[in-house]
Amino acid sequence: MGTDTTAGLLALKVLTPEGSVLEGDVFEVTLPGSEGELGVLPAHAALLTKIIPGALAYRAPEGQGVIALGRGVAEVRDDRVTVLVEHAVPAEDIDAAALDARRKQLVAEQDSGVAAERVEAIDEELALIDVQLRIGRPGTETAH
């Protein structure tokens, strides 16, 4: 992808500490912002927003996609959307069975009475697992 986008498209980048999860041109993107769901189309006003665990959805010339996001930030500027998050998992990479098993482990650990700082880390991981399960199994809800 070059530095200039094609007219009518946004340049979308989803980056984690491990590297790039997605880079490409899209028609639109929807982000899970701290103030609610945020839809971005070409010519959107510049902004910086916090990202909360949730689903990033996009529509590209090649088709649609969904990525489960952890916490982070997103910047929209000059028809570019840059998303910097702790975790990002494309829908096609979600392993629901492994996530179910990990979720059970975390809930058991939480119920066993752990230190307050560990409870916060468990809650954060559970939030990301729940997002991935919603994306990986549309139409199902997870219960705490």
pLDDT digits (tens, 9 = 90+) for 78-122: 999 999 999 999 999 999 999 999 999 999 988 887 787 888 889
Quick check: 67 pLDDT over 50? Answer: yes
Q: Is the pLDDT of residue 133 over 70?
A: yes
- CB 37, CB 115: distance < 8 Å: no
Confidence of residue 64 (pLDDT cuts 50, 70, 90): very high
The predicted pLDDT at position 50 comes to 97
Confidence class of residue 143 from pLDDT cuts 50, 70 and 90? very low
More confident of the two residues 59 and 113: 59
Torsion angle in degrees (nearest 10) through CA of 60, 65, 70, 74: 10
Q: 138: pLDDT confidence band, cut at 50, 70 and 90?
A: low
The token pair that represents 128 in the structure block: 């990301």
HSE-up of residue 109 (Cα within 13 Å, Cβ side): 17
For residues 98 and 117, give the distance between their C-alpha atoms in angstroms, rounded to a whole number. Answer: 25
C-alpha–C-alpha distance, residues 94 and 22, integer Å: 15
**pLDDT at 6 exceeding the cut of 80:** no
**Residue 142, pLDDT above cutoff 70:** no
User: Where does the pLDDT of residue 39 fall: very low under 50, low under 70, confident under 90, or very high at 90 and above?
Assistant: very high
In 3D space, the residue among 57, 78, 61 whose CA is nearest the CA of residue 135 turns out to be 57
Q: List the one residue out of 60, 86, 89, 57 whose CA is nearest residue 72.
A: 86
Architecture of the domain defined by 10-91 = Sandwich (2.60)
Boundaries of every domain in the chain: 10-91, 95-136
